[in-house]
Chains A and B, each alone.
Chain A
Amino acid sequence: MLTLDSVWKSNSESPSEFILKDCSFSFQERRIYAIVGTSGVGKTTLLRALNNLVPIDRGRILLAEQDISALHPAEVRRRISLMFQTPAFVGDSVRENLDFAARFARRDKIEFSALMERVHLNPAFLNRDVTQLSVGQQQRVCLARTLATRPDILLLDEPTSALDDDTADGILTLVGEISKQEGLLTIFVTHRRSHARKLGEHVLELSDGQLRILS
């Protein structure tokens, strides 16, 4: 479904160092992958490259056998959706954020109230200012916004890093449920192995520029 084919990606801070070195791996559809690795190893950069937010130096990233560099950038991002580590917003209210995502998704319009319920948020929050929500609730809004694009692939960049254990557990369980219900390929990066084991059907490690299967 999503394949890294001999990908090289340099570190933007230090272009002579490589985060991905001739890295190849195939992610299968409808599976949940957790990627672990130490801080600064390049997990975030890997997800950003998969979402086409940053260029790769060499190699190919294939989405359903098609090189993403040959696809329109919007098409890649509609099919591969990324949820960032820190909640960031593109509108003041929850509704504005969901509207923004739905506007560029070019898929069947999704019912926002149902979407809110799916991420365990009260639909009455739709008109609330995002800054009035807790960090856990903000992350749920970000997850709902990511789902509003109706993606085939969900990328999650340490979505639990700013959360306490209970809230983090709730988000992980929720992501697992949604991925299964929607039949999404989900790739989730974390530096906490317990979280990787809780959510990941396959646990990978990123080190020395390569992805290795741990379990």
Chain B
Amino acid sequence: MGLFQLSFGDVAISLVLMAVAIALSRLEGLGLERSLAIGTVRAFAQLTLIGFALKILFQVNSPWLLLAVLIVMLAVASYESVRRQQVTLPSLFFITGITLSLALVVSLGVVAVMIIRPDPWYNLVVLIPLSGMVLGNGLNIVSLSANRFISEIQLRRESVEVALSLAAPPRKALHPAFKNAVSGALIPSINALMTVGLVQLPGVMTGQILAGMPPVEAVKFQIVIMMMWITTGVICGVVATSLLMTRLVNARWQVRWDLL
């Protein structure tokens, strides 16, 4: 099977689809036209820029460059997670940074070093796309679980205080809120795991097949990616919510309601 290649003209034709979306929004009075238009321009600009940037990065290919790119990606993801919160949470920037770094170490350690085994080990062609997937998913899980954790604690304030007043440790008193926050944030990922291959063909696999890779080979990659994606999601939910809990309860086992 040959490699399908697109010209910029071909890509521009995809704008017809966006025109349909904008027309439908206008017809039904959804008020999304402006957001769709701005989003389209941003997506074109950002992806084109990153395409050229990756081309240069892949040519230079040095471990220090890898480190620098990962730090920038981590910083942007941590900033974005703070921006997505409904309330200002203490240390969320650092909590997200620590959580995503851990997720990166685990995923790159297993998937890159033990499974894909790139040569040289810091090959940016392998590590940058993998890191992007881990950080993108991790950021979503951290944001969803942190937001849900806060609203669960507020909702359960009375039972949290009863549990604490009965000498329960904070981790035990807050466990129902913790459980709902983390499991709620993971539901979309787990649903995706259940239906993968039946309802949807994931992006990595679709992209590789369109780029000419035999389907069975593409499936192997997709399975590895799904395992990495889910595991790092669980790690991010558990670690970020646990770290947040330590910021919301002081050493005297008192909930910092003033922060919520």
Neighbouring A residues of B164 by C-beta, 8 Å: 53, 77
A52-B159 contact given A77-B164, A77-B165, A101-B166, CB 8 Å threshold: no
Please, how many angstroms separate the alpha-carbon atoms of A145 and B165 in the complex?
11
* Interface secondary structure of B, over-half rule: helix
Please, how many angstroms separate the alpha-carbon atoms of A12 and B257 in the complex?
9
Per-residue contact bits, chain A 81-118, to B (CB 8 Å; 1 contact, 0 not)? 11010101110000000001100110000000000000
The tally of residues in A whose CB lies under 8 Å from a CB in B reads 25
A21 at the interface (CB under 8 A from B): no
Neighbouring A residues of B215 by C-beta, 8 Å: none
Q: Is the CB of B162 within 8 A of A52?
A: no
- What's the minimum C-beta distance from A189 to chain B, rounded to whole angstroms? 15
B258 at the interface (CB under 8 A from A): yes
Give chain A interface residues in 55-76, CB to chain B under 8 Å. Answer: 55, 69, 73-75
A84-B167 contact given A55-B254, A69-B252, CB 8 Å threshold: no
Please, how many angstroms separate the alpha-carbon atoms of A53 and B167 in the complex?
10
B152 at the interface (CB under 8 A from A): no
A84-B166 contact given A54-B254, A73-B253, CB 8 Å threshold: no
Neighbouring B residues of A82 by C-beta, 8 Å: 165
- Closest residue of chain B to A69 (Cβ to Cβ) is B252
Most buried by B among A74, A78, A90: A90
- What's the minimum C-beta distance from A48 to chain B, rounded to whole angstroms? 8
Please, how many angstroms separate the alpha-carbon atoms of A169 and B252 in the complex?
36
Per-residue contact bits, chain A 124-146, to B (CB 8 Å; 1 contact, 0 not)? 00000000000000000000010
- What's the minimum C-beta distance from B137 to chain A, rounded to whole angstroms? 34
Q: Is the CB of B252 within 8 A of A89?
A: no
Q: Is the CB of A104 within 8 A of B158?
A: no
Q: Is the CB of B169 within 8 A of A88?
A: no
Give chain A interface residues in 8-46, CB to chain B under 8 Å. Answer: 12
Q: Is the CB of A53 within 8 A of B163?
A: no
Q: Is the CB of B166 within 8 A of A77?
A: yes
B33 at the interface (CB under 8 A from A): no
Neighbouring B residues of A54 by C-beta, 8 Å: 254
- What's the minimum C-beta distance from B111 to chain A, rounded to whole angstroms? 41
Q: Is the CB of B167 within 8 A of A149?
A: yes
B161 at the interface (CB under 8 A from A): yes
Neighbouring B residues of A78 by C-beta, 8 Å: 167
Q: Is the CB of A84 within 8 A of B161?
A: yes
Neighbouring A residues of B172 by C-beta, 8 Å: 104
Q: Is the CB of B163 within 8 A of A84?
A: no
- What's the minimum C-beta distance from B180 to chain A, rounded to whole angstroms? 15
Give chain B interface residues in 15-69, CB to chain A under 8 Å. Answer: none
Per-residue contact bits, chain B 63-83, to A (CB 8 Å; 1 contact, 0 not)? 000000000000000000000
B110 at the interface (CB under 8 A from A): no
Please, how many angstroms separate the alpha-carbon atoms of A69 and B161 in the complex?
18
Q: Which of A55, A84, A88, A101 contacts B252 (CB 8 A)?
A: A55
A89-B159 contact given A54-B254, A69-B252, A73-B252, CB 8 Å threshold: yes
B168 at the interface (CB under 8 A from A): yes
- New contact pairs (4) apart from A53-B165, A104-B166, A104-B172, CB-CB < 8 Å: A54-B254, A84-B165, A88-B159, A89-B162
A190 at the interface (CB under 8 A from B): no
Neighbouring A residues of B169 by C-beta, 8 Å: 74, 104
Q: Which of B168, B250, B253, B254 contacts A100 (CB 8 A)?
A: B168
Neighbouring A residues of B253 by C-beta, 8 Å: 52, 73-74, 77
Q: Is the CB of B252 within 8 A of A12?
A: no
